[in-house]
């Protein structure tokens, strides 16, 4: 096994955002921009859905301030910018026969060109949860396989044609688990459905939509444009509560339901057996044509990860966790890591190293880390040393996975403060502070530490 001593020369690092989280500057400017409503616009208008009552139409005003944002990223030393294209900003009504919004096209052309002018590689996500509202109204969005696959593939083709001469790193979907479970299972995200059947249908239809769009790119665009395409999945490390066979098996089952649900069909050609056993007929079956489409439909593994859980076999009522019990406690009564501002997030850097090794060994694909971040509890009261500890721990774990374990990792992206979905503007995940009244940006110490780490550890050979 060849083990590197530094990150590869073409390693990408910088900041990650999503269109719905940062673009909006207010209802009037969004209307003027020609963007159609997404399911998140409708969700924000329902009482008590967004914790602080904020709205996707007014977030960080990236639409007007993209030049300043790109310049800031460059000044901090980033070499890449991961952002998403808003489907309803390009095709306001969403469908394959619907008109294109030239103002939206102009914005993304300008953003991509600004990135290239400043030496930032554009790393582009096609879908980061903002489904055109009209498609949801017409046929239920991700619940209608035949129509959504056609419309998403058409949207993807439009983006490849418009931007593929300059964009060489594509992601089809960001975290389909969240769309499926949070949007259609427990109802915390748009469109807010609660169901024990919809999530599996939605997940299946997203898999086919991904494969359709990715194969379109690989077959029709890659030969001339020369880029690469994949999907990015969320999945945190699952640590067995102890070494008992029951808890070891439970930890794998939780991993199957969180990560294997999407990764196994794409890279291994089938759903995890534990999902088949538990869900039965509720889990859709792949046709021969779909299996052929899924084969070789992702050229890398996109990894979003934040924390680690301890897993017990003790049965819970959480089907989405494979009926396991998730926690942060250890047998000696201690916690697995320090708490954050959010209940689900703890600082466990060694879990990242274990996760990267798991992905490397199971799926045997290059890994692009596309999101990682931390919402600090009492951030303003901490010393600089304490405030940057999360990133120091996680970047060292990343380095150890590459240097000591030989894991092929090719990127790392952090955050700037933004609209944190159902939590609104309250949590501050970013390494860049945003004043939501004035839209002023202020890089935090963590941004500098993060960028300097990668500058110091990338091979110059």
Q: Give me the half-sphere count of Cα atoms (radius 13 Å) on the Cβ side of residue 434.
A: 27
Q: How would CATH label the architecture of 12-236+340-457? A: Alpha-Beta Barrel (3.20)
**Max CA-CA distance within the chain?**
61
Q: Which residues of the chain have pLDDT under 50?
A: 1-4
- Burial tier of 75 (Cβ tally within 10 Å: 0-12, 13-18, 19+): exposed
Tell me what pLDDT residue 342 has: 72
Tell me what pLDDT residue 387 has: 56
Alpha-carbon gap, residue 71 to 414, rounded angstroms: 17
Angle at 312 between CA 306 and CA 314, to 5 degrees: 140
Task: List CB contacts of 295: < 8 A, sequence separation 6 or more.
Answer: 269
* Cβ pair 451, 77 in contact under 8 A: yes
Where in the sequence numbering do the catalytic residues fall? 175, 371
Tell me what pLDDT residue 4 has: 45
């Amino acid at each position: 096994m060849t083990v590197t001593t530094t990150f590869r020369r073409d390693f990408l690092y910088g900041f990650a955002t999503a269109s719905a989280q940062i673009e909006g500057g207010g209802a009037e400017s969004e209307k003027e921009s020609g963007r159609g409503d997404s399911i998140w616009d409708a969700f924000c208008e329902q009482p008590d859905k967004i914790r602080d009552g904020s709205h996707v139409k007014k977030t960080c005003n990236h639409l007007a301030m993209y030049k300043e944002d790109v310049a800031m990223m460059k000044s901090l030393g980033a070499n890449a910018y991961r952002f998403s294209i808003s489907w309803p900003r390009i095709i306001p009504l969403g469908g394959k026969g619907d008109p294109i919004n030239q103002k939206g096209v102009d914005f993304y052309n300008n953003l991509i060109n600004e990135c290239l002018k400043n030496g930032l590689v554009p790393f582009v996500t096609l879908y980061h949860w903002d489904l055109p509202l009209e498609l949801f109204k017409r046929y239920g969005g991700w619940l209608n396989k035949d129509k959504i696959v056609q419309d998403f593939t058409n949207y993807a083709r439009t983006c490849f044609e418009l931007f593929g001469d300059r964009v060489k790193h594509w992601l089809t979907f960001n975290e389909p688990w969240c769309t499926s479970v949070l949007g259609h299972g427990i109802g915390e995200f748009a469109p807010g459905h609660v169901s024990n059947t919809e999530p599996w249908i939605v997940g299946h239809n997203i898999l086919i939509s991904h494969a359709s769009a990715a194969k379109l790119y690989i077959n029709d665009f890659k030969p001339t444009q020369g880029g690469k395409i994949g999907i990015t999945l969320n999945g945190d490390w699952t640590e067995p509560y102890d070494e008992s066979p029951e808890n070891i098996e439970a930890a794998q089952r939780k991993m199957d339901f969180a990560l294997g649900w999407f990764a196994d069909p794409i890279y291994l050609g089938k759903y995890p057996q534990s999902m088949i056993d538990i869900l039965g007929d509720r889990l859709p079956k792949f046709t021969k044509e779909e299996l052929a489409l899924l084969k070789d439909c992702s050229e890398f593994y996109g990894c979003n990860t934040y924390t680690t859980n301890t897993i017990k076999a003790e049965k819970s009522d959480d089907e989405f966790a494979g009926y396991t019990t998730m926690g942060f406690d250890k047998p000696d009564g201690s916690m697995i890591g320090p708490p954050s501002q959010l209940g689900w997030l703890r600082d466990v850097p060694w879990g990242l190293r274990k996760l990267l090794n798991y992905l490397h060994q199971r799926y045997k694909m290059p890994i692009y880390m596309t999101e990682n971040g931390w919402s600090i509890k009492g951030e303003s009261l901490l010393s600089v040393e304490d405030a940057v500890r999360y990133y120091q721990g996680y970047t060292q774990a990343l380095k150890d996975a590459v240097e000591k374990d030989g894991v092929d990792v090719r990127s790392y992206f952090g955050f700037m403060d933004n609209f944190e979905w159902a939590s609104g503007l309250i949590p501050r995940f970013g390494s860049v502070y945003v004043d939501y009244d004035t839209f002023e940006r202020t890089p935090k110490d963590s941004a500098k530490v993060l960028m300097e780490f990668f500058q110091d550890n990338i091979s110059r050979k």
